[in-house]
Structure 1
Amino acid sequence: MGDSPFRDSKVNFGAAAVLHKWPSLGNQRRPDRTSYPVIEGTLDQCISAFMDKPAATRHLYDIHATPQPPLVTAILSPEHIAELSRLREFL
């Protein structure tokens, strides 16, 4: 079990991060537009703000963060954010 990245990796939830929202039309991301920042703070704050969004709109958000391999990438997808939220609660 020692080779699990979740068990052996430490995530700095206090690291700087930015929650971004994608412009949408009909609850779908607009591929012709770019995302814009809505919250700048810590990874923890951005994850909490993301999880507070209605589940039906979370696909319109991502988090830009300083990479912390292997668990935190430069841009975190909604699915990745939800996994980190679960990990944060587990820890």
Structure 2
Amino acid sequence: MTGVSDANIQIDFNAPASLRKWPSLNNERNSNGAWPDPYLLFDGTLDECIRQFMERPITTHHLYEIHTAPQGELVSAVLSAKHIVELARLRDFL
């Protein structure tokens, strides 16, 4: 997503999305526990989920992901921390 220069980029930040968090142990993903999948923290729009994510401590960003409907090449069904940060930056320019 880095280096996007197309001024015609359209992202629907009002699309339904959910912020999810992986269970963790010592600040690392723990998929060996009783709940091996990320759990729901917040349901709302893509924009609201990005804002909720950005309020979390940077040191825990790797534990979060956003689930939403895919939108072209820039928005996949599951957004990792790296992609969420890039979308947050991009959102400020759109």
Query: 1:70 Cα shift?
Result: 1.1
In 2 relative to 1, CA 6–52 (structure 1 residues): closer, same or farther, beyond 3 Å? farther
Equivalent pair of 1:5/1:71 in contact (CA under 8 Å)? no
TM-score, length basis structure 2: 0.88
**Number of residue pairs aligned between Structure 1 and Structure 2:** 88
Task: For residue 59 of structure 2, give the secondary structure of its aligned residue in structure 1.
Answer: helix
- In 1, the alpha carbon distance for the partners of 2:42 and 2:6 equals 26
1:59 alignment partner AA: H
Query: What does residue 74 of structure 1 align with?
Result: 77
Identity percentage of aligned residues: 49
Alpha-carbon distance in 1 for matches of 2:31, 2:21? 12
| TM-fit CA distance, 1:7 | 3.0
Gaps of 5+ in 1: none
Q: Which residue of 1 aligns with 2:59?
A: 56
Take 1:40 and 1:64, find their aligned partners in 2: how far apart are those partners?
Answer: 10
Q: Supply the RMSD in Å over aligned alpha carbons.
A: 1.2
Within 2, Cα distance between the matches of 1:8 and 1:89? 15
CA change 1:31–1:6 in 2 (3 A) is farther
Q: Provide the secondary structure at the position in 2 that maps to 1:19.
A: strand
Structure 1's consecutive aligned runs of 4 or more residues displaced over 2 angstroms after TM superposition are: 4-9
Where structure 2 has 5 or more consecutive residues not aligned to the other structure, the ranges are: none
Instruction: Show CA shifts across 1:17-65 (max 9, x none).
Output: 0000000000000122110110000000000000000000111000000
Q: Using structure 1 for the length normalisation, give the TM-score.
A: 0.91
Amino acid at match of 1:56: T
